Amino acid sequence: MIQVKDISIDNFQGIINLVYEDQEINNKVLENLKLKKVFEGKSGQVFYKTTEDLNYEIFVGLGKFNELEKTDLINAVAKSVKQAEKLNINELGINFIKANGLCTGGITKSIVQGVKLASYKFDKYKGNKEAYNPNVTIVGAPKEKLEKMKLKIEEASNVADGIIVARDLVNEPANVLYPETLAKRAVEIGKDSGFEVEVFDEKQIEDLGMKAFLEVGKGSVHKPRLIVMRYMGNENSDERVGLVGKGLTFDTGGYSLKPSASMDTMKSDMGGAAAVIGTMQALAKNKVSKNVVAVVAACENAISGGSYKPGDIIGSMSGKTIEVLNTDAEGRLTLVDAITYIIEKENVDKVVDVATLTGAVLVALGTEITGVLSNNDEFYEELVVAARRSGEKFWRLPNDKCFKKLYKGDFAELKNTGGRFAGTITAGMFIEEFVQDKPWLHLDIAGTSWTDAANDSTPKGGTGAPVSTLYELVVKHQCKHK
């Protein structure tokens, strides 16, 4: 439980103090620690001591005030909660603190996210372990902000749960999570959260004319599923936002076979699907007054006598023909049919596709920044605002017409790969060919949806990116008061 109250810190087994390296000191204990250089408030530092009442006081460093980013605050809170877990503290207070560039609501949400994600573990296959779930109270906040903060706590808690759902889905092994079981999970989440889920089987997918999607999935014993999720939170509006998540529950690369070292994490190739499912849960649980449709074309890219091959020419739901040069460039084939479906059958006004699409994006941007392509400056600016609120990082790449020649087909209208150069750009622009001039954002999360470098709020595995940003993008609210 997380709450905010105007009460004394004497009520807790432990109290957390978030400390800036350059803050004015009005605490004798802290002043002493800094003088002795035991604890100086540097980013990542943590120190604890017992009080006269044999309770604990935990100090966690934030670094310099003007250098703090939202993710730093989230990780600092998570670090302090992990320390509290080691000390077996069940009644925990956190002293509210101001943060550069964040309003009271933003700080509150960061604290909640840090608390909830600190104890995340995917250990269901290691035996049952009781999760650490302390009672946490935020204290010392402005009294006039308490009621607003209570609302923010609930909102942020539901968004954090959406991140956790996305992480859990990504971390499930492919022998447990495949198209049919992913669809079942989506149905269960929809029932629990309050959004509609419709699942199409392979015959229905064929009837829709989703030829590119079917080609990718036809080599697997696990048959494809089209998962359509609808949350209609505003009956007075006809506007619908469309979210499309790449749903490759496992990717061998097909006949363009991946090396073994590149394949063991390919259960995560449905990170886009996980993100849109987690976002739909958060939107529905928070009863957001927006209409959103999310679509996942779920399949496995496997090898069999019936698999599609390099050199094949295939169709698509849009009618465009595609020359397959590389069967490991499969995600874009599933996405374009899902995008055609969401535009033509669900009548969305804007489209965001989210996909672990290219290794090239890791070469370009590393593992903490998501690559973006867009055909609409205004829609991209909405993403920028959403990212400021979420703390996640994005970088827009050019979709200049000079790149079109790289994926123009020799024997069909398009090729499914543009070659080595500008790989993230040509993959995104291939998808752009199918968006029918709708405002569109393409988020390549190949570098950000999985991590091997754990931090205090994110262990190795699925990160849940970019659930927070997608939520903020749909909600589109502004922080007006500091």
Q: Which fold has domain 2-139?
A: Leucine Aminopeptidase, subunit E; domain 1 (3.40.220)
Q: Taking CA 228 as the corner, what is the angle to CA 124 and CA 172, rounded to the nearest 5 degrees?
A: 15
Q: What is the pLDDT averaged over residues 399-428? A: 98
- 400 annotated among ligand-binding-site residues: no
Residue 294 pLDDT grade (very low, low, confident, very high; cuts 50, 70, 90): very high
> What is d(CA 98, CA 383) in angstroms, rounded to the nearest whole number?
25
* pLDDT value at 482 more than 70: no
- Residues classed as catalytic: 258, 332
Q: What angle do CA 143, 146, 149 make, to 5 degrees?
A: 145
Band of pLDDT at residue 477, cut at 50, 70 and 90: low
pLDDT 10s digits, 18-52: 999 998 877 888 888 988 999 999 999 999 998 77
Query: pLDDT tens digits for 136-160?
Result: 999 999 999 999 999 999 999 999 9
Q: How many other CB atoms are found less than 10 A from the CB of residue 3? A: 13
246 is in an annotated binding site: yes
330 annotated among ligand-binding-site residues? yes
Q: What is the mean pLDDT of the chain?
A: 95
What pLDDT digit, counting tens, does each position of 51-106 carry?
Answer: 777 799 999 999 999 999 999 999 999 999 999 999 999 999 999 999 989 999 99
* pLDDT band per the 50, 70, 90 thresholds, residue 480: very low
Rg, Å, the chain Cα set = 24
Q: Which residues of 302-330 are buried (b: 16+ CB within 10 A; e: fewer)?
A: bbeeebbebebebbbbbebbbbbbebbbb
Four-residue CA torsion sign, 350, 356, 359, 364:
positive
Residue range 413-418: average pLDDT?
Answer: 98
pTM of the model: 0.96
Provide the residue ranges of all domains of the chain, joining segments of one domain with +: 2-139, 161-475
Residue 53, pLDDT score: 75
Reduce the secondary structure of the chain to three states and give it as a string: CEEECCCCHHHCCEEEEEECCCCCCCCHHHHHHHHCCCCCCCCCCEEEEECCCCCEEEEEECCCHHHCCHHHHHHHHHHHHHHHHHCCCCEEEEECCCECCECHHHHHHHHHHHHHHHCCCCCHHHCCCCCCCCEEEEECCCHHHHHHHHHHHHHHHHHHHHHHHHHHHHHCCCCCCCHHHHHHHHHHHHHHHCCEEEEECHHHHHHCCCHHHHHHHCCCCCCCEEEEEEEECCCCCCCCEEEEEEEEEEECCCCCCCCHHHCCCHHHHHHHHHHHHHHHHHHHHCCCCCEEEEEEEEEEECCCCCCCCCCCEECCCCCCCEECCCCCCCHHHHHHHHHHHHHHCCCCCEEEEEECCCCHHHHHHCCCEEEEEECCHHHHHHHHHHHHHHCCEEEECCCCHHHHHHCECCCCCEECCCCCCCHHHHHHHHHHCCCCCCCEEEEECCCCCEECCCECCECCEECCCCHHHHHHHHHCCCCCCC
Read off the tokens for 186.
């989506």
Superfamily of domain 161-475: Zn peptidases (3.40.630.10)
- Asked whether residue 251 is marked as a ligand-binding residue, the answer is yes
Residue 351 has pLDDT above 70, yes or no: yes
Best CA proximity match to 197, nearest among 299, 270, 276: 276
Q: How many CA atoms lie within 13 A of 206 on its CB side?
A: 7
Q: Say which residues have a Cβ less than 8 Å from residue 343's Cβ, sequence separation at least 6.
A: 242, 351, 435, 436, 438
Alpha-carbon distance of 302 to 138, in angstroms, equals 50
Tokens at 300, concatenated: 């496995």
Confidence check: pLDDT of 411 > 60:
yes
Residues 341-364, mean pLDDT to the nearest whole number: 98
pLDDT, tens digit, for every residue of 213-265? 999 999 999 999 999 999 999 999 999 999 999 999 999 999 999 999 999 99
CA 86 to chain centre: 28
Q: What is the pLDDT of residue 25?
A: 79
- The answer to which of 127-131, 176-180, 345-349 has the lowest mean pLDDT is 127-131
Do 2-139 and 161-475 have matching folds? no
pLDDT band at 300 (very low <50, low <70, confident <90, very high): very high
Give the separation between CA 197 and CA 80, rounded to whole angstroms.
Answer: 39
